């Protein structure tokens, strides 16, 4: 069994990816909600909860992870607002979770990833390709996440690195986004979390001669961003 560590695994896209990988991987389920992680782990054949505050990750948190085949960065935060209304603490929190925590966790796990010739998957966003009004702090973090992935791919040629750019996904996070926008939550117009998970699985299962560097997913009948 290969081993995969997934952040943001307690719900939404992260949970869907965990379920998609469960038949072929031993899973480490990362997130803040211990109860939700324990419940998911109990429902999967070989999984354990890994409750962690990603913004405070240390070497101690990854002790014992000596070989890692897949690292999926799915955790993220979003706070909408125009530049004039977005204070520094929002920018710092957004960058801490969406970029810095990703970089630090990847750095700490590089020996384990190198040992396995592993695969790093970064769940980005349509906002990582285009910045819209009211989304600038989030878009800036996702543009930075794309740059991190590109740099990691060049610096670590022994690893595969895939960035996934989904449009709106029918998750609790999207429900919160729509509340911030003052609009209705319309899941029928969004991607399903399982759809994103299947795209991740396709990238991971591509043959050894293939390196899917970027995947862009858009709802077939819904908003682009």
- Cite the active site residues: 138
CA triple 130-156-65, angle to 5 deg: 100
Distance CA 14, CA 108 (A): 20
Alpha-carbon distance 217 to 172, whole Å? 19
Q: Give one DSSP letter per residue of 180-205, joined into a string.
A: HHT----GGGSB-HHHHHHHHHHHHH
Taking the C-alpha atoms of residue 62 and residue 57, their distance in angstroms, rounded to an integer, is 9
Cα separation, 97 vs 138, whole angstroms: 11
């Amino acid at each position: 069994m290969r081993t995969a560590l997934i952040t943001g695994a307690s719900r939404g896209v992260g949970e869907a990816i965990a379920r998609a990988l469960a038949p072929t991987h031993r899973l480490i389920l990362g997130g803040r909600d211990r109860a939700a992680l324990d419940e998911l782990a109990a429902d999967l054949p070989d999984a354990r909860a890994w409750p962690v505050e990603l913004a405070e990750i240390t070497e101690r948190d990854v002790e014992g992870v000596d070989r890692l085949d897949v690292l999926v960065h799915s955790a993220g935060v979003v706070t909408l607002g125009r530049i004039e209304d977005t204070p520094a603490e929002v920018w710092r929190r957004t960058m801490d979770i969406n970029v810095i925590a990703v970089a630090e966790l990847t750095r700490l796990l590089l020996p384990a990833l190198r040992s396995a010739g592993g695969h790093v998957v970064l769940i980005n966003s349509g906002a990582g390709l285009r910045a819209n009004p009211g989304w600038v702090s989030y878009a800036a973090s996702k543009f930075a996440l794309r740059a991190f992935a590109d740099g990691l791919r060049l610096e670590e040629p022994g690893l595969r690195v895939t960035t996934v750019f989904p449009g709106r996904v029918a998750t609790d996070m999207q429900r919160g986004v729509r509340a911030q926008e003052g609009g209705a939550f319309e899941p029928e117009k969004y991607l399903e979390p399982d759809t994103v998970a299947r795209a991740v699985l396709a990238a991971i299962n591509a043959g050894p001669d293939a390196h899917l560097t970027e995947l862009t997913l858009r709802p077939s009948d819904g908003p682009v961003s």
